[in-house]
Amino acid sequence: MTILKLEPSSEPFTYEQWEELAKTKLTKGAFDYVQSGSGAEETLIKNREVFSQWDLLPYVLTNVEERDLSTNLLNRKIAAPFLLAPVGFQTVVHPDGERASASSASKLNIPYITSTVSSVALEEVSKIMQDTPHYFQLYWPNDDDVATSLVKRAESVGYDAIVVTVDTPLLGWREKDLHNGYFPMETGAGMANFVSDPVFQAKYNSDDLLEDSELIPVIRNILLKQNLTWEKLAWLREQTSLPILLKGILRADDAAKAVQFGIDAIIVSNHGGRQLDGVRSSLSALPAIVEEVNGEIPVLVDGGIRRGSDIIKAIALGADAVLLGRPYVYGLANGEAGVTDVLKNLLSDLDTSLAIVGIPTIQMIDQSIIEEKR
């Protein structure tokens, strides 16, 4: 695949320009919901600042004529070491929502993670992804029957893994959303996986009398009142043969526990600074977790990844791959073409960065190319 884009690129081009575009296209409520973090946004800011605390140390005069951005994750080959993070409610950004994001990802062989609160039902997203790896992100609802049903549906249509988000027993204290009175659930954009769920319908809407809008409070009541514990996770482990990833780990001892519980991969994450403000930036949490896990399972990281050199830094610090959240969501403001622009530019940027750091393949990146800033 030729990914180098040599012609001058049309605008928006940079992350910052895409963010500006999204700001002009979305309502204030929707834009703030996507952009903001929780509390005073200290963690949101740290997620970015931490990247400049590390310096890259390129090798010169190595042969980088042939480069390879591809990598393996959970026994599947992927185009580059990044995945699209689970982001709910995407029709608030563009009417095509997840259809556009998944379609773009699948054409580029980039894995996609469908959110529990996606605007498009998980089966439809899976069909769009075809043979490209796709995972289902589970917010464990406070109803085990519904949770099990979601997992079984994902399994039966060919999802490759379940991503259990563990940093969200409740939604974070998001001051901009509270100020704006913007609650994405209330838009109705996050209920596709519930209204299409036979177990949910049988339990909560058995006479089929409730309108979608009347189901919103019902869904709200079972979602994010998480009664998920390590014990329950052990039970989930028994319910599915799919690989399970835990998303939202920041502590090395929790990472060790995940390995003990038979978890297949870890995503080091603070939910893009949207959950507890003041927690550690994800990149600075990474090295201790990588050391603890000691190669037993893959370690992924997300939060603040914006450019090719960010990806190289994360991999040099021991990540197997990274997730992108806001970058592709801002691209989605221009529909599928926007997502594709964002992803292709990132592929080109990563390819360029790899050449200049003097390492021809993702597999060959190691910690020798990174040092703490002096």
Ligand X SMILES: O=C(O)C(=O)c1ccccc1
Q: Does 97 bind ligand X (CB under 6 A)?
A: no
Q: In the numeric block, which tokens belong to residue 137?
A: 């992100």
Among 172, 304, 335, 338, binds ligand FMN (CB under 6 A): 304
User: Of the two residues 184 and 331, which places its CB atom closer to ligand X in the complex?
Assistant: 184
Among 69, 87, 222, 244, binds ligand FMN (CB under 6 A): 87
User: Measured between alpha carbons, how far is 240 from 138 in angstroms, rounded to an integer?
Assistant: 13
274 is in an annotated binding site: yes
User: Measured between alpha carbons, how far is 50 from 314 in angstroms, rounded to an integer?
Assistant: 11
Number of residues that bind ligand X (CB under 6 A): 8
Contact 189, 89 (CB under 8 A): yes
305 is in an annotated binding site: yes
Number of residues that bind ligand FMN (CB under 6 A): 23
Q: Compute the least distance from the CB of residue 231 to ligand X, in Å.
A: 23
Q: Compute the least distance from the CB of residue 328 to ligand FMN, in Å.
A: 9
Q: Does 184 bind ligand X (CB under 6 A)?
A: yes
User: Of the two residues 223 and 316, which places its CB atom closer to ligand FMN in the complex?
Assistant: 223
Q: Does 324 bind ligand FMN (CB under 6 A)?
A: yes
217 is in an annotated binding site: no
Q: Compute the least distance from the CB of residue 68 to ligand X, in Å.
A: 33
Specify whether 134 is catalytic: no
Q: Which residue has the tokens 């809407």?
A: 205
Q: Does 274 bind ligand X (CB under 6 A)?
A: yes
Q: How far is CA 104 from the centre of its chain?
A: 15
User: Measured between alpha carbons, how far is 76 from 201 in angstroms, rounded to an integer?
Assistant: 35
Binding site for ligand FMN (CB under 6 A): 34, 47, 85-88, 115, 117, 137, 165, 247, 269, 271-272, 302-305, 323-326, 329
**Residues with catalytic function:** 271
Binding site for ligand X (CB under 6 A): 88, 117, 171, 184-185, 224, 271, 274
Which residue ranges make up the annotated binding site? 33, 86-88, 115, 137, 139, 165, 174, 247, 269, 271, 274, 302-306, 325-326
Which residue ranges make up the annotated binding site for glyoxylate? 33, 139, 174, 271, 274
